[in-house]
Chains A and B, each alone.
Chain A
Amino acid sequence: MTPDEQRIALLQGTLDLLILRTLVFGPEHGQGIARSIQRESDDVLLVDHGSLYPALQRLERSGWITAEWGKSSNNRRARFYELTPSGREQLTHETDQWQRLVAAMARVLGLGRQEA
């Protein structure tokens, strides 16, 4: 596990993107999403499990995901979330924006280092 001080608290807005991204691989329940984000980011990103639910709530209301009760792999009842077509579109859009930002940031930060 990564020590706490090296973890990055999630920025507002990025959690939505991460949830959408996680759901690309198929329906998943809340706990699965939290674990998946943490695992995919090599435990760098810190997800407060509790804060996941308002985000899920928000995405569901925006129509980007839908939810249904089902059975988990170890046969427990859980609420599964699934990406809708408009959610998929949103993910593409946001990913695109994010990549442009990262590119821009890289340029900015790279230039800054040269100057110093």
Chain B
Amino acid sequence: MRRTSRSDADFQAEIEAHLQLEIDALIDEGMSPSEARREAKRRFGNVTGAQEKFYEGNRFLWLDNLRRDVLLALRQLWGAPLSTLLVLASLTLAIGLNGAVFSLADQTLLRSLPIEDPKGLVQLEWDGQFVGQGMGNVGFGKLIPFPLFRELSERDDVFSQLFARSTTDVHLALDGRPQPVVAELVTGRYFETLGIRPARGRLFDTSDDERPLGHPSVVLSHGFWTTATGGDEDIVGRTVNLNDFPMTVVGVAQPGFNGTDLGTPPDLFLPMMMKERATPGWSGLEAHRTRFSQTFGRLADGVSVEQAEARLQPFFKNYLEEDTRRDHWPQLTEQQESAYFASTLALQPGSQGESRLRQQVGRPLLILAVTSALVFLLACLNVANLTMARVLAASRATALRTALGAPRSRLLVQQLTESALLAGAGCVLGLFSAPFVSRFLVGFLADGVGNTLSLQPDVDLRLLAFAAAATLLTTVLAGLAPAWFAAGAKPVDVLKQKSDVGGKGLSARRVLVVAQVALALLLLVGAGLFSRTLGTLRSEGPGYSTENLLMFRLAPAVDGIEMAQTEPLVARLLEEIEALPDVVAAGASSFAMLRGSGWNNPVTVRGRTTVATEDSLPMNAVSPGFFETLGARIVRGRPFNGLDDQEGWDLRSTIVNEEFVRRYLEGAEPIGARLGFGNRPDADVSIEIVGVVSDFQDFSLRDSEAQVYFSLWERRVGDATFYVRASTSSEAAMRSVRSAIAQTEPRLTLLSLRTIDDQLDRMLATERMLATLATAFALIATALAVIGLFGVLSYSAERRTREVGIRIALGADRWRAAGLMVREAASLSLYGLLVALPLCWGLGRLIESQLYGVAPTDPATLFLATLGLLGVCLAASLLPARRVSRMDPLIALRSEN
């Protein structure tokens, strides 16, 4: 704002002089002095206002203009309600979607744990060949054998703090019935290392780390304390039953802290020393070759990651050597041995903790992020196109205003105001819609990953700011481009149609339409691929009838039943359930089916030749009635024996599926062949194949796996998943199953009772989400592209009226004239398709891992999507074409267009 050298007193004097002069004049004209004074003031308008204008110089003018611009913009937007509505809807959708997706991606993939100095946290990784097995439900994410952790925590030259942790499901009784909850097993320095403070009572320290089974203490998570006890202030010191064992609540952890695994937030924390209580019958604290825990720590002062890794290696070499001298060290092939000795201890950033969730939802979220970015881009293109259309339509009015003396900058500002209003409204609506979209998405994800997911349906403000800025930029650019053409042209030329503002704008709009068609095709192809994936998985199913088939889980050991008693209990339950009137058959397996995870191991098979499998094969231990319950057939050999015929807990017999026979027995007779665990030369190949079962999907829906089954009775049974085929409805069977279990053993907690169809739905949640959203996006994209195309064609039809009129007047066929419009539509869509097809190939690689039964470049899908899009694009050209063909040549010739 420039400052003027005049004083405000001087200005005030001028105004007073003006009023006085006006009063004089009015009195001369015959008014009374008081009337004249009133009238002079009225004519002057607001005296103070004028003074304000003087003080504030240009600013007041600017504000005044802005108000007028906003009103004008509102009137113009109101005047084109359809286009305004479309722009708003697409912006709202795109911004809301991007906000939601980015927030979820941020939470799962980017955000650090809510702990002290997350950057300083490192996680240990056994980088190389581990000899042994992984256990427990922390997945296989960087497990470190617990004794190795112990040895490491005795050194102080590398780490200042170190802890180990693991998660497991336990049953907790606060007052009455036990409930399944998630427990995080932690060593003494866990809370100290993470910098977590107690909300109530105390947290664990090294004094809780002394004797196995010697520390019956529980720390509740803040969330669990709030929801399960209602924030009970007297919780500290209370005795609770954990897996039917009394323990004392010593404290509540800091609010907002959910452990180190995003996918399984714990309800409570237990000292690692209580491991055997948490996983009855198995401690593992001394096991060198069974890993179940992760190790995190902080480096000692002044030690860099490289230095730390270097200092760890001699010690680790030593550990590797020592382990080969311990009992039960297996014989290895030379290759396996050199891989084992090449292992190193690596340090990974620990700021985000470690979670399987990241791998599970990482790819789908990335796909969603890319898709929603495409939708956003499309929305921006659409906004640009519609804005241009509006501006071009108004170009003569603009020229008129320029001619009437409006400065060009004012016209540009007017255009910007309109764009900014649209963008602003879109952003605000997007902001409000984002939480709903986010909740919807979390619903999908939570279904697939488990109900304990700690994802928040938040909206990320940084992203909203970004989206708002991007939208504003787009609309402003789109608003400016035509204004630029218009402002550059001489007003008189525009009025006389000498300057082709519309032409320049039209070619810009054509480019936008080509881009829109290209994006729509990409999204259509994606939708086709995801829908076919879901359809194939659904129709193929698990390979058996899922009608009236239900499942549930029991964990007798966790419910406090003696290990010696669990096996007979499971057998008795199976009998009781099978005897129910509305049950046809019942079976049990030690691992739940269709969860994409479970028991697996490499095996060595000895038929005619000996084959050691490179990969781990999925395995399960099942009751004799399991196959019959599902409807699978024993195609060769015999089923498993009943419990009464079994003795001891050595696996002696196995049933493999047909796929296994095809893959590993090479035509040899399967019955009587033997297999053993592990692929090392000294593998104990002593388990006899007694039968072959028809193929069905056990592990996951996607791959047909070579599957190995053992007898449930030849293993310790701590817990089991039951499968029940009902004769009536699933609901009725659920009720009778529930009461049968309660009568047989009231201590049992019934877990995850549901139908197999329900489980399949959960299993396919990610696929459903991708298919549903991709289809929705594709439809929106197609609609937006078609609207863009229609707009351009109508405009072009209008501009060509005179040309077509001449052609018709000269005797051209009306249909050929109409064909011009169709041809324009076809060429625009073809350009779009040409741009999109190579991109399809590129994006196909991104989604490849999420597809099933269809290649990312599937010709049928590409063909159908292309054909469909071309179809609607041509349909969009029919209306303008009709208008052209019906035109009266005389009117057309006279028209100014």
Contact = CB atoms under 8 A, between A and B. Distances in A.
A joins B in a complex: yes
Interface of A: 11-14, 16-17, 29-32, 34-35, 48-51, 53-54, 57, 61, 72, 74, 76-79, 94, 97-98, 100-101, 104-105, 108, 111, 115
25 contacts: A12-B405, A12-B406, A13-B404, A14-B404, A17-B405, A30-B14, A31-B17, A31-B21, A32-B21, A50-B49, A51-B45, A51-B50, A53-B11, A53-B15, A53-B50, A54-B50, A54-B60, A57-B4, A57-B53, A79-B14, A98-B405, A100-B492, A101-B404, A104-B492, A104-B495
Contacts of B495: 104-105, 108
A109 to B, nearest CB: 11
Given A29-B18, A104-B492, A104-B495, A74 B24 contact: yes
Interface in B266-315: none
B486 to A, nearest CB: 16
Nearest to A38: B43
A35 B25 contact: yes
- Main secondary structure on A side of the interface with B: helix
A50 B45 contact: yes
Contacts of A50: 44-47, 49-50, 53
A60 B768 CA distance: 70
A29 B21 contact: yes
A43 to B, nearest CB: 12
A32 B15 CA distance: 13
Tell me which of A32, A50, A108 has the highest count of chain B C-beta atoms within 10 A of its own C-beta: A50
Interface string B828-869: 000000000000000000000000000000000000000000
A54 B60 CA distance: 10
B405 A57 contact: no
B53 A72 contact: no
B613 interface: no
A71 to B, nearest CB: 10
Interface in B1-41: 2, 4, 11, 13-15, 17-18, 20-22, 24-25
Contacts of A16: 405
Contact of B492 (A53, A57, A101): A101
Given A31-B21, A53-B15, 20 more contacts: A12-B406, A13-B407, A14-B405, A17-B405, A48-B43, A49-B22, A49-B43, A50-B46, A51-B50, A54-B54, A57-B54, A78-B17, A79-B14, A98-B405, A100-B492, A101-B491, A104-B403, A104-B492, A105-B403, A108-B495
Interface in B460-506: 491-492, 495-496
Contacts of B211: none
A48 B53 CA distance: 14
Contacts of A48: 43, 45
Nearest to A30: B18
B18 A49 contact: yes
A94 B18 contact: no
B22 A31 contact: yes
Contacts of A57: 4, 53-54, 57
A13 B405 CA distance: 5
Contacts of B57: 57
B754 to A, nearest CB: 71
Q: Which 9 A-B pairs have the closest CB atoms?
A: A13-B405, A50-B45, A101-B403, A31-B21, A50-B50, A49-B44, A31-B18, A78-B17, A79-B14
Nearest to A17: B405
Contacts of B405: 11-14, 16-17, 94, 97-98
A13 B400 CA distance: 13
A17 B407 CA distance: 13
A85 B407 CA distance: 22
B894 interface: yes
B668 interface: no
A54 B21 contact: no
Nearest to A56: B14
Given A30-B18, A76-B21, A115 B45 contact: no
Contacts of A72: 17, 21
A53 B404 contact: no
A106 to B, nearest CB: 11
A113 B11 CA distance: 49
Given A14-B404, A51-B45, A76 B17 contact: yes
B61 interface: yes
A108 to B, nearest CB: 6
Contacts of B13: 77, 79
Interface in B397-422: 400, 403-407, 410
Contacts of B46: 50
A54 B47 CA distance: 13
A40 B496 CA distance: 31
Contacts of A17: 405
Nearest to B895: A115
Nearest to B19: A31
A104 B46 CA distance: 37
A54 B61 contact: yes
A61 B4 contact: yes
Contacts of B896: 111
Contacts of B407: 12-13
Nearest to A78: B17
Contacts of B20: 76
Interface string B754-770: 00000000000000000
Contacts of B406: 11-13
B666 to A, nearest CB: 90
A16 B896 CA distance: 33
A32 B18 CA distance: 9
Contact of A53 (B2, B53, B403, B410): B53
B404 A54 contact: no
A35 B54 CA distance: 21
Contacts of A105: 400, 403, 495
A57 to B, nearest CB: 7
Interface in B51-69: 53-54, 57, 60-61
A97 B492 CA distance: 10
Residue among A13, A32, A74 facing the most chain B CB atoms (10 A cut-off): A13
Contacts of A13: 404-407
A35 B57 CA distance: 24
A96 to B, nearest CB: 12
Nearest to B2: A61
A31 B26 CA distance: 12
B520 to A, nearest CB: 40
A79 B17 contact: yes
Q: Which of B46, B57, B404, B896 has the most CB of A within 10 A?
A: B404
Contacts of B22: 31, 49
A99 B24 CA distance: 36
B54 A53 contact: yes
A48 B50 CA distance: 11
A111 B407 CA distance: 27
Contacts of A61: 2, 4
A16 B404 CA distance: 12
Contacts of A78: 14, 17-18, 21
B7 to A, nearest CB: 13
A31 to B, nearest CB: 4
Contacts of B25: 31, 35
Nearest to A103: B492
A9 B644 CA distance: 105
A79 B492 CA distance: 39
Nearest to B49: A50
B21 A12 contact: no
A57 B50 CA distance: 11
Contacts of A11: 404-406
